[in-house]
Amino acid sequence: MDNDADPYVTNSGFADGGFADVRIEVTATKLSGSPSAGVGVHCREAPSGHGGSYYADVDEEGSVRIAAQGDDQDVLAEAEQPGVWKDGPNRLRLDCVGEDITLWLNGQRLLQARDGRYLSGQVSVGAGGAGRGETRVAFDDLTVMAPGATDE
Q: What is the DSSP annotation of 27-75?
A: EEEEEES-TT--EEEEEEEPGGGSS-EEEEEE-TT-EEEEEEESSSEEE
Residue type, position 71, single letter? D
Residues 125, 14, 107: CA angle, nearest 5 degrees: 45
Whether residue 83 lies inside any domain: the answer is: yes
Question: How far is Cα 107 from Cα 130, in angstroms, rounded to an integer?
Answer: 26
Whether residue 13 lies inside any domain: the answer is: yes
Dmax (CA) for the chain in angstroms is: 38
Mean pLDDT of 13-20: 64
Whether residue 1 lies inside any domain: the answer is: no
- The domain total for the chain is 1
Write out pLDDT tens, residues 81-119: 999 999 999 999 999 999 999 999 999 999 999 999 999
Whether residue 2 lies inside any domain: the answer is: no
Residues 88, 136, 16: CA angle, nearest 5 degrees: 100
Q: What is the pTM of this model?
A: 0.85
What domain range is 138 assigned to?
9-145
Whether residue 129 lies inside any domain: the answer is: yes
Indicate which CATH number applies to the domain containing 123: 2.60.120.560
On average, the pLDDT of the chain sits at 85
Whether residue 108 lies inside any domain: the answer is: yes
Write out pLDDT tens, residues 27-57: 999 999 889 999 999 999 887 656 789 999 9
Whether residue 128 lies inside any domain: the answer is: yes
In this predicted structure, the answer to whether residue 141 has a pLDDT above a threshold of 90 is yes
pLDDT for residue 95:
96
Whether residue 150 lies inside any domain: the answer is: no
